[in-house]
Structure 1
Amino acid sequence: MSLRPLYAAVALVLALWAAVFAAALPLPQWPMLPWRAGDMNIDQILLAFGLMPRMAVALLIGAMLGLAGGLMQAVLRNPLADPTTLGTSAGAQLAIIAASVFAPGLLAGGSLPIALAGAGVTTALVMMLGARRGFAPVTITIAGMLVGMLAAAIGTAITLAQGHYLLTLVIWNGGALTQNDWWVSARLLAIFLPALAAALLLARPLMLLSLGEAQAKSLGLGQTPLRFGTMLLAVMLAAIVAAEVGLVGFIGLAAPAAARALGARTLRQRLMLAPVAGAVLLALADALLLNAAALGLPSLPTGALTGLIGGPLLLWLLPRMRASVPQQAEDARASAPRAANPRKLLIALAILSAILGLCGLMLGQSQDGWGIPPIALWPNFLPIRATTLLAAASAGALLAGAGAILQRMTANPMAAPEVLGVTGGASLGYAAAVFLIAGPTPLHLAIGTTLGAALTLAALTAFALRADMAPARLLLAGLAIGAFASAVLAAIMASDDRRAWAILGWLAGSATHVTPVGATALAMLAALLLALLIAAQRWLDILPLGAEVSRALGLPLLPLRLGLIAAAGLATGAATIWVGPVSFVGLMAPHLARSLGLVRPLPFVIGSWLLGALLMAIAAFGARTVTYPYDLPLGLFATLIGAPWLFILLLRKA
């Protein structure tokens, strides 16, 4: 085991923190022990009770996350497991946000019980989903990241709906390590040391578990209590971190990977080295941000920087899992029943969409309750409602059409723009247009969003073809790209730039600001995509059979794939620019179409298109009426509609 890189990293961390301390106060002016605030000036107080405990907190938080990640990876035999990828941190974050906004009295006894409950619920859900698939590493990681996406989407919507909490919640969400005393450090140290001792006691039973379930059972190992106890310890560590400083992402993923890279062979060595690596990584990230802020760059929460390592690290780890996990075990394909008469079913869907669209146009809430507005008010109300419904339905059709393309291309029913990181890339394109162009017009924003989506999908495809990954691994690579995009956006949100607020409002998704011209353009694009899907039905029928069969039947694979990728990227970008990166519609609508028996390519794509429009129209109606007279984010309702179907899909055994 070579520790020279670790020693070099420790030296770098010490040098950077020494620079931070020296910039705050020259060494000759440092206060002498024992420190008493009454005997110090402001600069000395800031150093002794601000920066120094901040360094200690960074070290302890990093160590706790590194230990939590090491425990999760050991018990699940999954090198991709950590509190971020399993949704644990997102669950704790959502619970604290919800309690802060809706029931602040629950926080009177501290935020730890609330964080622990939220982390426990999301982790238990992921474990339940993973147990249905035999805890296959890639599958359980996909489940965890999707559950985390759901929790983060709901948390963002709650944050946006509560303007008076907005700034505090945004900064807290970024994982700020700012301190004003040593109490947090003392608390964390008192928790970490017993947790480390307990983890070392668990090392030997976990090593027996790694031999396989049959061997562990023959040796008399109680697997369920061991899994439960280990996960409980890891979840507790992650919840404590979330309660103290907010969301600090991917340290639990990077630290065990660093321990393995340093040559740690046994589980005990990894459990001892992972906390050290985590402490060094987080302290290094925090020191870099503080030195950057001293040079005049924007001051960001540390969690916003650590999130940037997650996507690249996941992409680096994915190809290295092939030797240990059979790809066939992670294939999510399953046969679906076929409808006896798809044409009648499609006609029924079209009629249902028209009826519900008419109801959404005419019905609503007023101060007198539910009803139809008076005829005299129709010229004022109906055009606004019609524009909103048309934009939402068109965006849903575009996302569903993109999802249908991706699912047929990858032969995997879990492929979707949201899952493959396409909406994340579109969001980055939107943010780039806002920051790089002075006074961007809707056309500039549309071009930036569309290019972001298309480039993300093209990069993902190139990576997948080069790495020769199975479909489930392709999904996880997409989630890694999405995680990277989310981290970049979180860093932007946590900055003090005014342009970030425009992006923050757009991220939740709202069709209320779409103009009639924009809604009409979106509807025309949706119609154009439907025509393309119908024309490409033969290609979409052959592509799931694989590259060799497709070539044997004369398909020009490269231009065909690039064309379909471009179509899916353009559709996603067009929908995203008008209504924001709404969640799970592109995943749920094709899945619903398949579950209704629309299996053949033509009924499948038409049914997906209709269902996407229907679902988004329902989401728009709910966002407008549930909290009258205020509109809620469209993305929240799309997420809440899509989440139950997503979990049903994950619960099905391959």
Structure 2
Amino acid sequence: MRKIPVLPWLIIASLALICALLLTSNLGRIHASNLPSTAGLLLYYSFLPRLATGILCGVALATAGLLFQQVLRNPLAEPATLGIAAGANLAMSASIIAFPALLVFGLTNLALAGAALAALVLYLLIARQGLDPLKIILTGMVISLYGNCVNTLMVLFNHDYLSDLFSWQAGSLNQNGWSVTQFLLLPVLLLMAVSLLLARPLMLIGLSDQSAGALGLSVTKIRVATLAVAVALSALITSQVGIIGFVGLAAPALVRLSGVRRFTQQLFCVPLAGAGLLTLVDQLAQFLSPAGGDLPAGALAGLLSAPLMLMLLFRQHNPTIAAAPLSTPAIRTLTRAHLTGLLLLLLSSLAVSLFLNRPLDTTAVWQLLEWRWPRMLGALSAGAMLAVAGVLIQRQSGNPLASPELLGISSGASLMVVLLVILFNQPLVQLFPAALAGSLLAIFSLFMFGFRSGFQPQAMVMVGLCLTNLSMALSILLLMSGDPRAMMLLNWSTGSTAGITAERAMWGATQALLLIPLALLLQRWVTLLSLGHQTARALGAGLRRSNMLILLLAAALTAGGTLLIGPLSFVGLIAPQLARYSGAYRFVQQCLVAALYGALLMVIADWLGRNIAWPWPVSAGLLCALIGAPWFLWLLIKSGK
């Protein structure tokens, strides 16, 4: 007789008790109103519709997560991690801002089209590589990150008009009537009924495609139908309440931990768990709102999803991706002419950044130099530091997909900076120790999970993306809190150079001039580690000491660059690759050439950000991220081949 686990049921009972207490507390606040008629209106037109909407959304998101996980055989799959919700969200934002004529089709249909397009892009990127669990989630999360970057860019351009939209997109369940509940009820019930019809075929597909095909099932048709139902559920909810993660991930995991193994049983239990979890999150958001402003349930759920993903990733015992060695491009030689051309290009970009800008008013050039040179110097220093940090991390790990941004090191620095700015009101220029501590904390987390997964490249990047999502969720919560420093932090986190003062620029340049030469002194250790740990130990290298020094210096470089341009630039990924494609294979050569490329990329991005949409500035970090995310996906596909 199979033993039923006790701990998960204790957790479920505890969560149910907390949810009941929060419900009672929030109801008590309504009835404590001085006017009984007001309390009745709030109860009928706000509290109860919000509760019903939360239950329906929890049911739909949990079912969508279970369907995605079953058909992809991946316990980490859900609408948020696969980029489906981000695709729906981006389609609605783009329609409202750029193509308002499309609104005649309705937001729900536009969200469905965006979700379907994101699902199609995901399928095309992974179609030739099989249903590899980590690679699917890795691709989906980068698609989600890319969509969120584009959406953030549009919000920054139209903040005065879209502040309410941004709040709604964060996953708000606020209601002022029963219209959303009535709209969702019938479609959710119909899609749930279709998912029940797919229960038996999906149970067979969960075993293997060969077994299902031997029993006469059309695996492709069942998979497409299931994905269509899951995408429709995701788009439907996103169109009405915005992006809400966590539920599609946590509800199936909690049901499995409680001992429910059969898929047909899970299909009944998971929607109930999803409804309870989202109700709990929403009631917690309402309970905390008087102290922290109007907290969106989706942003609060995002804070909970990152630790949960890390836990599930930690429990995944059999990742199927082998370590990816540094790919070797066609043999090239770094010539003096190439290096001279790169230096001339950088000097030319500096001159253009200082003297050729919109508006073309030559009389004001010299007066504007005092505003331009700090931004240019800050972008140059940050690009160089992040590029060298990327070289160190890729060399130390043997992973061409590694970078400070993708491994979460930049996000760790960003998290610590944001917390200290909000809690202690410290200026950014004084927060290098805090950023360094955040980077080291992220590196510690990476090592903790790295030992579990054998330091597999894609698993390490997954941990980093979880930390990045955690940072983005915290930024959304701070933006919704009403704190006047929130917009400044949002601009900084997207890579804006507008706030770089002369003091910050000089401090960043000093850090670059000190830390980059220190990195060059590590040549022997980095070269030995790239040969493998056993070879390095045999040649006399102290592995613990050398790894610690390399990662400490990479953390310092990342902290310095992040303080200047935020956590989402992707320079640490692109610049080392460009250096290697230019023929810089030796460590010192790659560091120097990557630093030149990183500086060049950020100077050009800063110049474009100031001029491409003048007089409205565009964040330089966002421009680099919009280039870096497709570059990463191309590298991922190439490594799969």
TM value normalised by structure 2: 0.93
Cα separation, 1, equivalents of 2:514 and 2:128: 40
Q: Select which of 178, 181, 191 maps to 1:182.
A: 178
- Spell out, residue by residue over 1:207-259, the C-alpha distance to the aligned partner (whole angstroms, 9 max, x if none): 33233344444444333322222112111111111111111112111111111
Cα separation, 1, equivalents of 2:162 and 2:525: 48
- Spell out, residue by residue over 1:567-626, the C-alpha distance to the aligned partner (whole angstroms, 9 max, x if none): 222212211212222332211222222333433323322222221111111111111111
| Of 5-14 and 141-150, the range deviating more from structure 2 | 5-14
- Structure-1 residue corresponding to 2:283: 287
C-alpha change, 1:265 and 1:110, in structure 2 (3 Å) is same
Runs of 5+ unmatched residues, structure 1 = 31-40
Q: Select which of 31, 35, 55 maps to 1:25.
A: 31
Q: Select which of 453, 458, 476 maps to 1:490.
A: 476
- Asked if the contact 1:414–1:587 (Cα under 8 Å) also holds between the matched residues in 2, the reply is yes
Cα separation, 2, equivalents of 1:638 and 1:576: 14
- Asked if the contact 1:598–1:607 (Cα under 8 Å) also holds between the matched residues in 2, the reply is yes
- Structure-2 residue corresponding to 1:398: 385
Q: CA deviation at 1:93?
A: 1.8
Q: Select which of 192, 205, 211 maps to 1:196.
A: 192
- Structure-1 residue corresponding to 2:76: 80
- Structure-1 residue corresponding to 2:465: 479
Q: CA deviation at 1:79?
A: 0.8
- Asked if the contact 2:292–2:481 (Cα under 8 Å) also holds between the matched residues in 1, the reply is no
Aligned residue runs from structure 1 range 9-48, under 5 A: 9-25=15-31, 41-48=37-44
Give the partner amino acid of 2:312.
Answer: L
C-alpha change, 1:345 and 1:268, in structure 2 (3 Å) is farther
- Asked if the contact 1:62–1:283 (Cα under 8 Å) also holds between the matched residues in 2, the reply is yes
Would you say 1:408 and 2:395 are equivalent positions? yes
- Asked if the contact 1:336–1:599 (Cα under 8 Å) also holds between the matched residues in 2, the reply is no
Give the partner amino acid of 1:627.
Answer: A
Q: Select which of 488, 499, 512 maps to 2:498.
A: 512
Would you say 1:303 and 2:298 are equivalent positions? yes
Give the partner amino acid of 2:567.
Answer: P
Secondary structure of the corresponding residue to residue 630 of structure 1: coil
- Asked if the contact 1:346–1:603 (Cα under 8 Å) also holds between the matched residues in 2, the reply is no
C-alpha change, 1:458 and 1:321, in structure 2 (3 Å) is closer
- Structure-1 residue corresponding to 2:312: 317
- Structure-2 residue corresponding to 1:140: 136
Q: CA deviation at 1:349?
A: 2.3
Q: Percent identity?
A: 36
Aligned residue runs from structure 1 range 260-279, under 5 A: 260-279=256-275
Secondary structure of the corresponding residue to residue 358 of structure 2: strand
- Asked if the contact 1:400–1:609 (Cα under 8 Å) also holds between the matched residues in 2, the reply is yes
Q: CA deviation at 1:531?
A: 1.6
TM value normalised by structure 1: 0.91
- Asked if the contact 1:66–1:251 (Cα under 8 Å) also holds between the matched residues in 2, the reply is yes
- Structure-1 residue corresponding to 2:610: 624
Give the partner amino acid of 2:513.
Answer: A
Cα separation, 1, equivalents of 2:531 and 2:224: 41
Runs of 5+ unmatched residues, structure 2 = none
- Structure-2 residue corresponding to 1:556: 542
Q: CA deviation at 1:331?
A: 3.6
- Asked if the contact 2:333–2:582 (Cα under 8 Å) also holds between the matched residues in 1, the reply is no
Cα separation, 2, equivalents of 1:406 and 1:628: 37
Q: CA deviation at 1:348?
A: 3.1
- Structure-2 residue corresponding to 1:389: 376
C-alpha change, 1:166 and 1:563, in structure 2 (3 Å) is farther
Q: CA deviation at 1:282?
A: 0.6
C-alpha change, 1:637 and 1:179, in structure 2 (3 Å) is same
Give the partner amino acid of 1:509.
Answer: G
Give the partner amino acid of 2:166.
Answer: V
Give the partner amino acid of 1:321.
Answer: Q
RMSD between superposed Cα atoms in Å: 2.5
Give the partner amino acid of 1:570.
Answer: A
Give the partner amino acid of 2:477.
Answer: A
Q: How many residues align?
A: 634
- Structure-2 residue corresponding to 1:434: 421
Aligned residue runs from structure 1 range 83-482, under 5 A: 83-293=79-289, 296-323=291-318, 325-328=319-322, 331=324, 333-341=326-334, 344-366=337-359, 373-374=361-362, 376-438=363-425, 440-465=426-451, 468-482=454-468
- Asked if the contact 1:342–1:598 (Cα under 8 Å) also holds between the matched residues in 2, the reply is no
Q: Select which of 529, 539, 552 maps to 2:525.
A: 539
- Structure-1 residue corresponding to 2:558: 572
Give the partner amino acid of 1:485.
Answer: S
